[in-house]
Amino acid sequence: MRHQNTTDHGTTAVNRLAGMRRRVVGSIAGLAGTMFLAGCATNAPQDTFQPKGPNAKIIDDLQKPVFAVAGIIGVFVTVVVIIAVFKFRDKGQPIPHQSHGNPALEITLTIIPALILTVVGVFTFRTVFDLAKTSDTEMIINVTGQQWWWEYDYPVQNEYGITQPIITSGQLVIPAGTKVLLRQTSRDVIHSYWIPALNGKRDAVPGRVHLNRIEADKPGIYAGQCTEFCGLSHANMRMEAVALSKADFAKWVANQLKPYASPAENTLAKEGETVFMNQCIRCHQVNGMKRADGTPVIAAPDENMVSGAAPNLSHLMSRNTFAGATFDLLNKSCREDVWGAESESFGAKYLGGVSEDCLNQTDLRGWLRNAPAMKPMYANPALLTSSGGKYRGMPNLGLTESDIEKLVAYLLTLK
């Protein structure tokens, strides 16, 4: 009898201890779960669970239940293991029966996950083909990746007022509510185009054209980042998609097609144009630029660059970023004004472009002073033997401060 009592006491104590442990484990799991949820809700610009267009939404509708099911199974397995650990720890019990298994249980526990995966598989299959659909495309943009920036080339599409090709970079401007097909390729290594709010990623592979469909529900600016490792400055190869209302998009197109206007004579900007023609034109094109004798000024990036291209700087100040969207053209307060705008007022603010007051002078001047110091690039002539002397990225041009002054004044005229 007494002996019995002792055992009871012992068992209760063990039970109480086990219960306490379970509560501790439970609260840790709860805390971890809360942290996880809190951790995800930060409005990070590249959040993969905040779709802002139908393609990303299709993905989101699939991934949410899959994550939920995976989470439930994970918690279930963990709990079973924890129970086994506490329930069967050595408390002096005899050596267990040497059971070699239970085929019926085994087969059941094989079939259940197989069934779950079959269901997931069916939905995955359907979604893959839904996402691959391109037949109802409303607009085409050619997207070309190179170290370490993206070029956007709009072929002639009269229904959008694009009566001549538009070539731009840094920010992809699209009309909201329009199914846009990106035809992607690369001029050097493999890059990957990724605007998480609009769609998953798709590699840009040299020698191949890959299709990538995006659509934004509302006007706004959507952040992205090159996600295929593309060499030295991979981390600095960003992109932004700018969605405008259809009317605003038409205004943007009209501005891009506006003919070149040379700065007025005897201004700092005019001197800057001369500096541009002597220096920058080796790689950077500005459409419509002419010499004093009226001959057109044509850039020859293929002679200087491994990828054979440098960003076209026509209407530079209509963009908010430069150098592969690495740096802002807008200073901090003006940038916040645009990025934080409601979708109704966003278009007008974006189309305002970059005024002298809003210009991020620090970064632009720093870039002109010594670009490779701001963004790692292959720009040291001594190290370019393997590429036949061609650069990857912008070299240090050794400009004087007065040249920089003039160039900034000139670039500000490229509205």
What CA–CA distance (Å, rounded) separates 317 from 250?
18
**102 part of the interface to another protein, by CB under 8 A:** yes
**36 part of the interface to another protein, by CB under 8 A:** yes
Q: Which residue, 79 or 297, has its beta carbon nearer to another protein?
A: 79
Residues 340-369 that bind another protein (CB under 8 A): none
The contact mask relative to another protein for 266-305 (x = CB under 8 A, - = no) is ----------------------------------------
For another protein (CB under 8 A), the number of binding residues is 99
Q: Which residue, 175 or 393, has its beta carbon nearer to another protein?
A: 393
**17 part of the interface to another protein, by CB under 8 A:** no
Residues 382-401 that bind another protein (CB under 8 A): 383, 385-387, 392
Minimum distance of another protein from residue 27's CB (angstroms): 16
Which residue from 341, 353, 44, 354 is spatially nearest to 221, judged by alpha carbons?
341
Bridging pattern class, strands 238-244 and 171-175? parallel
Q: Which residue, 6 or 99, has its beta carbon nearer to another protein?
A: 99
Residues 171-190 that bind another protein (CB under 8 A): 188-190
Which residue from 187, 166, 183 is spatially nearest to 285, judged by alpha carbons?
166
* Tokens (6 digits) for 217: 């529900």
Cα 390 → chain centroid: 28
Q: Which stretch binds another protein (CB under 8 A): 199-207, 264-272, 295-303, 348-356?
A: 199-207
Q: Which residue, 103 or 294, has its beta carbon nearer to another protein?
A: 103
Q: Which residue, 287 or 326, has its beta carbon nearer to another protein?
A: 326
Which residue from 404, 266, 242 is spatially nearest to 339, judged by alpha carbons?
242
Which residue from 315, 331, 347 is spatially nearest to 413, judged by alpha carbons?
315
Q: How many residues does the chain have?
A: 415
Residues 226-245 that bind another protein (CB under 8 A): 226-235, 238
Question: Sheet holding 149-154: strands in order across?
Answer: 166-169, 149-154, 139-146, 180-186, 210-214
Q: Which stretch binds another protein (CB under 8 A): 222-230, 359-367, 398-406, 407-415?
A: 222-230
Which residue from 158, 193, 160 is spatially nearest to 179, judged by alpha carbons?
160
The contact mask relative to another protein for 103-142 (x = CB under 8 A, - = no) is x-xx--xx--xx--x--xx--xx-xxx-xx----------
The answer to whether 276 and 286 have CB atoms below 8 angstroms apart is yes
Minimum distance of another protein from residue 410's CB (angstroms): 27
The answer to whether 171 and 321 have CB atoms below 8 angstroms apart is yes
* Tokens (6 digits) for 232: 């030295």
Minimum distance of another protein from residue 96's CB (angstroms): 5
Minimum distance of another protein from residue 415's CB (angstroms): 25
Measured on CA atoms in the order 36, 37, 40, 42, is the torsion positive or negative? negative
